[in-house]
Amino acid sequence: MAASERIPVLLTAAEKGRIAKMSKAAGLSMGEFLRRAAASFRPSEDDKVLEGMIDQMNKTTAQASVAIGDALAFVEASNKRIARMERKAA
Protein backbone atom coordinates (compact mmCIF):
# COMPACT_ATOMS: atom_id res chain seq x y z
CA MET A 1 0.00 0.00 0.00
CA ALA A 2 1.55 3.29 -1.05
CA ALA A 3 1.34 5.99 1.59
CA SER A 4 -0.27 9.17 0.39
CA GLU A 5 -0.59 11.11 3.65
CA ARG A 6 1.44 11.30 6.83
CA ILE A 7 0.26 11.81 10.38
CA PRO A 8 3.06 12.81 12.70
CA VAL A 9 2.55 11.22 16.10
CA LEU A 10 4.70 12.18 19.06
CA LEU A 11 5.49 9.32 21.43
CA THR A 12 7.75 8.75 24.35
CA ALA A 13 10.60 6.33 23.80
CA ALA A 14 8.78 3.81 26.02
CA GLU A 15 5.55 4.10 24.00
CA LYS A 16 7.43 3.66 20.74
CA GLY A 17 9.23 0.65 22.19
CA ARG A 18 5.94 -0.99 23.25
CA ILE A 19 4.40 -0.39 19.84
CA ALA A 20 7.51 -1.73 18.12
CA LYS A 21 7.38 -4.88 20.27
CA MET A 22 3.67 -5.45 19.64
CA SER A 23 3.96 -4.84 15.90
CA LYS A 24 6.93 -7.21 15.64
CA ALA A 25 5.04 -9.89 17.58
CA ALA A 26 2.12 -9.45 15.18
CA GLY A 27 4.44 -9.69 12.18
CA LEU A 28 3.47 -6.21 11.01
CA SER A 29 5.28 -2.98 10.33
CA MET A 30 4.64 -0.28 12.91
CA GLY A 31 2.67 1.69 10.33
CA GLU A 32 0.41 -1.26 9.47
CA PHE A 33 0.01 -2.12 13.13
CA LEU A 34 -1.09 1.43 13.93
CA ARG A 35 -3.42 1.57 10.89
CA ARG A 36 -5.13 -1.65 11.99
CA ALA A 37 -5.35 -0.49 15.59
CA ALA A 38 -6.93 2.79 14.50
CA ALA A 39 -9.35 1.00 12.16
CA SER A 40 -10.54 -1.31 14.95
CA PHE A 41 -11.00 1.44 17.54
CA ARG A 42 -14.69 1.78 18.39
CA PRO A 43 -15.07 4.15 21.33
CA SER A 44 -18.86 3.94 21.44
CA GLU A 45 -18.72 0.13 21.68
CA ASP A 46 -16.00 0.34 24.31
CA ASP A 47 -18.08 2.85 26.27
CA LYS A 48 -21.10 0.50 26.22
CA VAL A 49 -18.99 -2.38 27.52
CA LEU A 50 -17.51 -0.18 30.25
CA GLU A 51 -20.95 1.15 31.23
CA GLY A 52 -22.19 -2.44 31.53
CA MET A 53 -19.22 -3.34 33.69
CA ILE A 54 -19.77 -0.29 35.89
CA ASP A 55 -23.47 -1.13 36.30
CA GLN A 56 -22.58 -4.69 37.29
CA MET A 57 -19.96 -3.45 39.76
CA ASN A 58 -22.50 -1.07 41.32
CA LYS A 59 -25.03 -3.90 41.73
CA THR A 60 -22.41 -6.23 43.16
CA THR A 61 -21.14 -3.55 45.54
CA ALA A 62 -24.68 -2.91 46.79
CA GLN A 63 -25.19 -6.66 47.34
CA ALA A 64 -21.87 -6.93 49.16
CA SER A 65 -22.76 -3.95 51.34
CA VAL A 66 -26.05 -5.59 52.36
CA ALA A 67 -24.27 -8.89 53.05
CA ILE A 68 -21.65 -7.13 55.20
CA GLY A 69 -24.39 -5.30 57.09
CA ASP A 70 -26.20 -8.59 57.71
CA ALA A 71 -22.99 -10.25 58.89
CA LEU A 72 -22.20 -7.38 61.26
CA ALA A 73 -25.74 -7.49 62.68
CA PHE A 74 -25.39 -11.25 63.21
CA VAL A 75 -22.06 -10.76 65.01
CA GLU A 76 -23.53 -8.03 67.17
CA ALA A 77 -26.52 -10.21 68.12
CA SER A 78 -24.18 -13.11 68.80
CA ASN A 79 -21.99 -10.96 71.03
CA LYS A 80 -25.07 -9.89 73.01
CA ARG A 81 -26.15 -13.53 73.44
CA ILE A 82 -22.65 -14.46 74.60
CA ALA A 83 -22.60 -11.53 77.07
CA ARG A 84 -25.99 -12.65 78.51
CA MET A 85 -24.76 -16.22 78.85
CA GLU A 86 -21.59 -15.03 80.58
CA ARG A 87 -23.60 -12.90 83.03
CA LYS A 88 -25.84 -15.86 83.85
CA ALA A 89 -22.83 -18.11 84.35
CA ALA A 90 -21.16 -15.64 86.69
Residues 70 and 59 in one domain: yes
Between 4 and 81, residue with greater pLDDT: 81
pLDDT tens sequence across 23-70: 999 999 999 999 999 998 887 877 888 899 999 999 999 999 999 999
Residues 64 and 24 in one domain: no
Q: Are residues 17 and 50 in the same domain?
A: no
pLDDT of residue 24: 97
Question: How many beta carbons lie within 10 A of that of residue 19, not counting itself?
Answer: 16
- Structure pTM? 0.48
pLDDT exceeds cutoff 80 at 19:
yes
In this structure, the answer to whether residues 61 and 46 fall within a common structural domain is: yes
Handedness of CA 28, 34, 39, 41 (dihedral sign): positive
Task: Provide the domain count of the chain.
Answer: 2
Q: How far apart are CA 30 and CA 32, in angstroms?
A: 6
Residue 19 domain boundaries = 10-41
